Structure 1
Amino acid sequence: MTKIFRFEMAHAINGYPGKCKEIHGHSYELHVTVAPVSMPQHLIPGTGLVMDFKELKAIVHECVIQPFDHCLVLSKEFIKSHNFSDYENILDWDYEPSVENLILYIRQVLRERLPAHVRLVRLKLFETRDSYAEWEV
Structure 2
Amino acid sequence: MAKIRVTKQFGFEMSHALLNYDGLCRNIHGHSYKLQITVAGEPMQAPGSPKDGMVIDFSILKKLIQEQIISKLDHSLMINESAPTDKLDALGQMYERHHVVPFQPTSENMVVYIAEKVKPLLPEHLELFCVRLYETSSSFAEWYAEDN
Task: For 1:1-137, list aligned pairs within 5 A.
Answer: 1-36=6-41, 39=42, 44-46=44-46, 47-80=52-85, 83-84=87-88, 85-86=90-91, 87-136=95-144, 137=146
Root-mean-square deviation (CA, aligned residues, Å) is: 1.5
1:44 deviation in Å? 4.8
The unaligned stretches of length 5 or more in structure 1 are none
Runs of 4+ in 1 over 3 A off after TM superposition: none
- Taking the aligned partners of 1:29 and 1:107, their CA distance within structure 2 comes to 15
- Taking the aligned partners of 1:92 and 1:74, their CA distance within structure 2 comes to 5
The unaligned stretches of length 5 or more in structure 2 are 1-5, 47-51
1:131 deviation in Å? 0.4
1:122 deviation in Å? 1.2
With a CA cutoff of 8 Å and minimum separation of 6, indicate the structure with the bigger relative contact order: 1
Conserved 8 A contact 1:79-1:92: no
Instruction: Give me the TM-score of the superposition, normalised by structure 2.
Output: 0.83
| Number of positions where the alignment pairs a residue of Structure 1 with one of Structure 2 | 131
- Taking the aligned partners of 1:121 and 1:79, their CA distance within structure 2 comes to 36
Could you tell me the percent identity over the aligned residues? 38
